[in-house]
A and B are shown apart, each in its own frame.
Chain A
Amino acid sequence: MSNTKSLLTIKDLHASVEEKQIIKGLSLDVKPGEVHAIMGPNGAGKSTLGYVLSGRDGYHVESGSVALDGDDLLAMETEERARAGLFLAFQYPVEIPGVSNLEFLKAAVDAQRQARGEDPVTSADFLKEAKAACKQVNLPVAFLKRGVNEGFSGGEKKRNELMQMLLLKPKLCILDETDSGLDIDALQVVAEGVNSQRSDDRSFIVVTHYQRLLDYIKPDFVHVLSGGKIVKSGDASLALELEAQGYAWLQNEPAEDELEG
């Protein structure tokens, strides 16, 4: 494994929002095909990490570096990062009234194809693919004609995010608290969708507060994020440990790098 080239390499990242430093020296290495879970208490910077990596306005990188597939991710515009294969599944997907899901998805797929120098997908082919994706995430096909997330329930929105992921076929998927607000059935659907997409050339960063999602999506690595940095890393058993102990112990434990240093 260690010889494999990394897909994502984050080195000593410091980032702030509205002049408040949230990420304070975070390093992470993700190889193709790996699933990394990032857990941590509220306010640890979990969602911020996803926004910083995807280049949301207002999230400023102060220092450090991020490479995706060897390219400098931080030098890219938001849409260029997406076209380079980075996908963020939102915790609270926003509505775009009047723009049909199908139209939105095709525009997104075509924008990414264009960036790769490919022709737009034909409407007929795309419709076929989109219908299959609907089926896979257990959404009625009628949802393709509805406005993006318009009037969708919480669970439907999350499945819609997953459908976008299926169609865009990213290299790196960041799932931002995808489990929040889902009942157990919806959680299973989403988890199955994610698992079906696991492959040797696709990696996942699963950001979650609770261990329960990891019962369904088995991570290769679990990292604990606290105070803007990773304070502990381990395998899937770390998640269970956290579940049993909660996050309170973190306050007394020095960060890993401080131990190493």
Chain B
Amino acid sequence: MTEQIDKALAREYEAGFVSDVESETFVPGLDEDVIRRISAMKNEPEWMLEWRLSAFREWLEMEEPDWALVDYPKIDFQSISYYSAPKSMQDKPKSLDEVDPELLRTYEKLGIPLVEQQMLAGVAVDAVFDSVSVVTTFREKLEEAGVIFCSISEALHKYPDLVRKYIGSVVPKKDNYYAALNCAVFTDGSFVYIPKGTRCPMELSTYFRINEQNTGQFERTLIVADEGSHVSYLEGCTAPQRDENQLHAAVVELVALDNAEIKYSTVQNWYPGDENGKGGIYNFVTKRGICHTNAKISWTQVETGSSVTWKYPSCILKGDNSVGEFYSVALTRGRQQADTGTKMIHLGKNTKSTIISKGISAGRSNNSYRGLVRMNPGAQGARNYTQCDSLLIGDQCGAHTFPYVESRNPSAIVEHEATTSKVSDEQLFLCRQRGLDPEKAVSMIVNGFCKEVFKELPMEFAVEAGKLLEISLEGSVG
């Protein structure tokens, strides 16, 4: 069976095309000058440049972490270009009509039409291409509700006080190696602000696309949900198929003020590399949210891409009665490696967290869940429930679970359940004996395994996620 799996897994990556767009790209290399140039390109306020430079100086003193169960050659940070933008974006097109049609075609090919009439009703999109935001749709409709949804570069100009107040407030500059690097060189990303008591009238979504070769993508997303507000946000990512590895080091910060709720969903489909592990995106991402009193943050992720994933969307449950959730599906195949999970830091009283992690490993891949649940002394009556399930397809892949529990409050309750199972020959045989072809059978079994997580995704995307999984597993059995 393994031989058949290997053969079948050598499938095409559908988003692997390259767009023919003329770009302005920095020569590879990283020093303070590069950072000054990035800041200058974006015409940033002085404080922002200073912030970047101080992060860079911290970064120079830091060590690349090596505790994750992933193995990759040392990254040469001087061989990466830290800025690339389509030339057509230099004139800052004011409306969709002025945007280079090739860029619009790129997103259309990816199934993300940016022309509002063709879009999913009820979803506003910020499209980020390499280092810049191409367009943000449905802005007027959102403005009517008082919702701010724009690129972070634009927010720095229009809403500098808001950005300055919250940027780095959840993920400090020197939080970790990749976060510090991101602080120094981030190029674009999305900014969201939901005013007090407002329910965002539509789903917000950012679609990240890496196009240029040897370019890193360092985006930064900041979402602030003011008191009593509610927002659901989704990010998607793809990249062309290239033989060289590319670095993606993002930072996402969520701030849920009292009684606010943020639902953040990710469908990650960066290029995973070929079946021998050549090429693919190194995905080193820091995502964290802070919950004030009675607030709730829910992370849902479907991770199918990247050759190396290092990612732990986390919640700091600072306010009493706040709630953190983490629902994850991570699928690895070929030579992919994923080390992903979450941190739930319980500070407030009666805080609650739920972790549901589903890891699926196929081919020769390695899939690890790594999660921390910490109950601080003040977390009176706090509760956590963790469930980690691993599913193996074939017999050459690995699934690992690394739960860390630190409880410093005797009244806190922490529960952990873990299972490992295989897509068995018996299950496949039953499906085929009833007339299903093997691919449909595997995708059905895997979808069933992921059901608890998929039901957390916004409806429009749950279908997409199921399909993505189906494509990812195409031919996973012969």
User: Interface on A for B, CB 8 Å cutoff?
Assistant: 54-58, 77-79, 81-83, 87-88, 90, 93-99, 103-104, 107-108, 111-112, 115, 147-148, 164, 168
Segment 436-478 of B: residues with Cβ below 8 Å from A: 436-438, 440, 444-445, 447-452
Give Cα distance in the complex from A112 to B440, angstroms: 13
B1 cross-chain contacts in A, Cβ below 8 A: 57
A112 cross-chain contacts in B, Cβ below 8 A: 435
> Taking the nearest CB of chain A, how far is it from the CB of B12, in angstroms?
23
Contact of B436 among A93, A94, A111, A147 (CB under 8 A): A111
A168/B424 in contact, CB under 8 A? no
Among B120-128, B256-264, B291-299, B425-433, the stretch that binds chain A is: B425-433
Nearest A residue to B449 by beta-carbon distance?
A98
Give Cα distance in the complex from A82 to B432, angstroms: 7
B434/A82 in contact, CB under 8 A? yes
B437 cross-chain contacts in A, Cβ below 8 A: 79, 111
Contact of A97 among B425, B435, B449 (CB under 8 A): B449
B434/A168 in contact, CB under 8 A? yes
Give Cα distance in the complex from A87 to B433, angstroms: 7
Query: Main SS of chain B's interface residues?
Result: helix
A78/B429 in contact, CB under 8 A? yes
Give Cα distance in the complex from A94 to B433, angstroms: 12
21 contacts between A and B (CB under 8 A): A56-B429, A77-B432, A78-B432, A79-B435, A82-B432, A82-B434, A90-B430, A93-B430, A96-B445, A97-B421, A98-B450, A98-B452, A104-B434, A104-B444, A107-B436, A107-B444, A108-B431, A108-B434, A108-B436, A111-B434, A111-B437
A108 cross-chain contacts in B, Cβ below 8 A: 431, 434-436
Contact residue range for chain B? 20 to 34
Nearest B residue to A93 by beta-carbon distance?
B430
Give Cα distance in the complex from A55 to B425, angstroms: 13
B448/A168 in contact, CB under 8 A? no
Give Cα distance in the complex from A77 to B432, angstroms: 9
A93 cross-chain contacts in B, Cβ below 8 A: 430
Give Cα distance in the complex from A79 to B433, angstroms: 6
A147 cross-chain contacts in B, Cβ below 8 A: 448
Given contacts A98-B450, A107-B440, A111-B440, contact A83 B424 (CB under 8 A): no
Nearest A residue to B450 by beta-carbon distance?
A98
A98 cross-chain contacts in B, Cβ below 8 A: 447-452
Give Cα distance in the complex from A98 to B449, angstroms: 6
Give Cα distance in the complex from A107 to B440, angstroms: 9
User: Interface on B for A, CB 8 Å cutoff?
Assistant: 1, 421, 424-427, 429-438, 440, 444-445, 447-452
B427 cross-chain contacts in A, Cβ below 8 A: 94-96
B448/A96 in contact, CB under 8 A? yes
Nearest A residue to B430 by beta-carbon distance?
A94
Q: A88-B433, A97-B448 are in contact. List 13 more A-B contacts (CB 8 A).
A: A54-B433, A56-B429, A77-B432, A79-B438, A82-B432, A82-B434, A90-B430, A94-B426, A98-B447, A98-B451, A99-B445, A108-B434, A111-B436
Give Cα distance in the complex from A112 to B429, angstroms: 16
Nearest A residue to B434 by beta-carbon distance?
A108
CB-CB nearest 10 A-B residue pairs? A98-B448, A99-B448, A108-B434, A82-B435, A94-B426, A78-B432, A111-B435, A98-B451, A112-B435, A79-B432
Given contacts A96-B427, A99-B448, contact A82 B440 (CB under 8 A): no
Give Cα distance in the complex from A91 to B438, angstroms: 22
A107 cross-chain contacts in B, Cβ below 8 A: 436, 440, 444
Give Cα distance in the complex from A90 to B431, angstroms: 12
Contact of A168 among B421, B435, B451 (CB under 8 A): B435
B435 cross-chain contacts in A, Cβ below 8 A: 79, 82-83, 108, 111-112, 115, 168
Give Cα distance in the complex from A96 to B1, angstroms: 19
A94/B424 in contact, CB under 8 A? yes
> Taking the nearest CB of chain A, how far is it from the CB of B186, in angstroms?
39
Give Cα distance in the complex from A147 to B426, angstroms: 16
Nearest B residue to A84 by beta-carbon distance?
B435
B444/A99 in contact, CB under 8 A? yes
B448/A82 in contact, CB under 8 A? no
Nearest A residue to B436 by beta-carbon distance?
A111
Give Cα distance in the complex from A82 to B448, angstroms: 23
Given contacts A94-B424, A98-B448, A98-B449, contact A82 B429 (CB under 8 A): no
B452 cross-chain contacts in A, Cβ below 8 A: 98
Given contacts A97-B449, A104-B444, contact A57 B436 (CB under 8 A): no
> Taking the nearest CB of chain A, how far is it from the CB of B385, in angstroms?
18
> Taking the nearest CB of chain A, how far is it from the CB of B387, in angstroms?
13
> Taking the nearest CB of chain B, how far is it from the CB of A143, in angstroms?
16
Nearest B residue to A86 by beta-carbon distance?
B433
Given contacts A96-B427, A99-B445, contact A82 B451 (CB under 8 A): no
Contact of B425 among A57, A77, A95 (CB under 8 A): A57
